[in-house]
Every structure is written in structure tokens, then in C-alpha cells.
Amino acid sequence: MSRGSTRFGTVVLTGATSGIGREAALRIAPRCERLIVQGPEAPASVGALLAALNAVARGTVEYLSADFSRLDDVVALAASVRTLVGGSRVDLLVNNAGVPGAPTRVLTRDGFERTLQVNALAPALLTRLLMPSLAEGGRIVNVGSSAHRVEHFDWDDLALERDYTPVTAYARSKLTMVAWSRLLAGEIAPGGPTVVALCPGLNDTPLSSAMMGRIGGPATEGAARVLHAAEADVPSGSYLEGGRVVAPSADALEPRNQERLVETFWTTLRPYASSHRRSITWSTSP
């Protein structure tokens, strides 16, 4: 099911400073012309990462700093990517950056529950802003989690004012991402980029450690699953667990939830998209 030794062209990968994203970047660098990686740290703090990537890279490696708990940072990140690629196109966008649920509920300065913002709203905004730069025949890989199965949407309490726990926050953010991934695939016209979401399995990383203690395999295993999702010959909108296409939870597929998600994203993200780039259009509106 995999195209094997794909050459990726230009790649944008978020959350490359640690864990699965770092390992995925190390595997993609030798196989692409240009790798643009993101992390929340200042560029001065990522010298070791860049040295490691440049040691194996086939083409150029660039680092952009952005904190997804600030949606203005996401807008600036998208603008920087567009500037870097100029008239060329992004062939692969990997939305990997993520946070565990914080011990107690945190609201961002944008007014959203932080886990939801970093894990779901920010990648949706970044993807939307980069859509004009994505290559036809390119791919968007969204790193979700099988944890999405343990939660349900509560549209009346998106900010988790009533029911906050770290696990609830994380699982709902991943449910949102997995549902959005399917929605996005349906919005993109045939010939446009394909969209694949995946669970990378249980990997021993700072994120998993914060929620469950030291557990899981090495991050290289999750990175291999990300690479597989980037190359797999599967229909757009697919969700992969254990490297296989499976149905996401019923909540993620429920049409009414998909409609509510469109409404929510439209209301939440349009101001950030339209205030900075008037030509951005949302192909689905409430």
C-alpha cells in the first residue's frame, strides 16, 4: 500500500523539536528537496536539531518558530512558509505538533482551551492558510490519536468549563482533529492534495510521559507511521491505526458533528484567516 521510496519535494513538518516529529524530520530530510520544520523554541535554541538534520539532509533545512497557543504565531508561520517557498509549492504538510492536556485547564490569550487550540485549531488554521501553496497531488498528514475514541463532542462546553480533566482535553482535541481531517478531505476538489490522518501508536515521548509516565516504544516507531501515512496509497480522508485504514469513531463521522465542526471552525478561525490574508476562502461555510 505504500509508494516506498517517495521523494517528497518541499515538506513542512510541525513539532519537529521533540519526539515523533524530530524522528520523522530526520527520516524525511534525506528524501526531500526542502524541509521546513517548526517548533515553539526560539531559533537560537535549536542548533543541535538543525545540525542533526543538516547532517542527513539532501536539500535545504529551515526552522521557523511558532507557539500554537498564539494564533497570531500560526498566521505568521504560514506567511513565513509562503515567503520561503515563493512561487513553488508545498508537497507534504505534516501537522504533528501537539501538547498533552495540562494538569489544570488553561485558556489561551485567544480565549480557547489550550489543548484544543494547539492540537486542533492551530493545525486547521495553518492548513487553511497554506492551502493556496499546497501542490496538486500533494498530501496533508494529520497526526491524530486513537485516544479520540474515548471522548465525545460536547458542543455546549468546547472550552471544558464543566468537565476538565487532562485526558478529556487531550482526547477531545484529537477527536476534533480526526473529524476535521475527514471534513477537510471532503472539501478539497479531486486532484488537490490528499488528506490522511493517523495514530502513531504509543511512543515514549515527553507528551506521553506527561500523561501516562514512561510507556510505549521509541519515537522512531511513531515516525515510521508518519512516513507511511505520507506515502501510503490510500483514499483521501483515510484514518490509519497500526498502519491500516480503519474507521475513526462514530462521533468523528457523525454528520451533525461535522456540521457543527464547520460552524465552529468558521466562527473561530475565519477572523485570523481573513484579517491577515483577505483572499483566503473557506470552501465550506455554515
* Residues identified as active-site: 170
Dihedral of the alpha carbons of 23, 11, 83, 182, in degrees to the nearest 10: -100
Query: Distances in Å between the alpha carbon of 173 and those of 36, 147, 179, 210?
Result: 25, 9, 10, 16
Residues 235, 112: Cα–Cα separation, whole Å: 32
Binding segment (CB under 6 A) for ligand NAP, from list 39-47, 184-192, 230-238, 270-278: 39-47
Q: With respect to ligand NAP, which residue has the nearer C-beta, 14 or 264?
A: 14
Q: Is 40 a residue that touches ligand NAP (CB under 6 A)? A: yes
Q: With respect to ligand NAP, which residue has the nearer C-beta, 96 or 236?
A: 96
Q: Is 112 a residue that touches ligand NAP (CB under 6 A)? A: no
Strands of the 238-241 sheet, one edge to the other: 60-65, 34-39, 10-13, 90-95, 134-143, 194-198, 238-241, 244-245
Q: Is 207 a residue that touches ligand NAP (CB under 6 A)? A: yes
Q: Is 101 a residue that touches ligand NAP (CB under 6 A)? A: no
Amino acid at position 205, single letter: T
Residue whose beta carbon is closest to ligand NAP: 19
Query: Distances in Å between the alpha carbon of 6 and those of 56, 100, 235, 239, 280?
Result: 16, 32, 17, 20, 30
Q: Is 96 a residue that touches ligand NAP (CB under 6 A)? A: yes
Q: Is 205 a residue that touches ligand NAP (CB under 6 A)? A: yes
Within residues 223-282, the interface with ligand NAP by CB under 6 A covers: none
Within residues 126-145, the interface with ligand NAP by CB under 6 A covers: 143, 145
Q: Is 208 a residue that touches ligand NAP (CB under 6 A)? A: yes
* Residue numbers at the binding site for ligand NAP (CB under 6 A): 15-21, 39-41, 67-69, 96-99, 118, 143, 145, 199-200, 202-203, 205-208, 216, 219
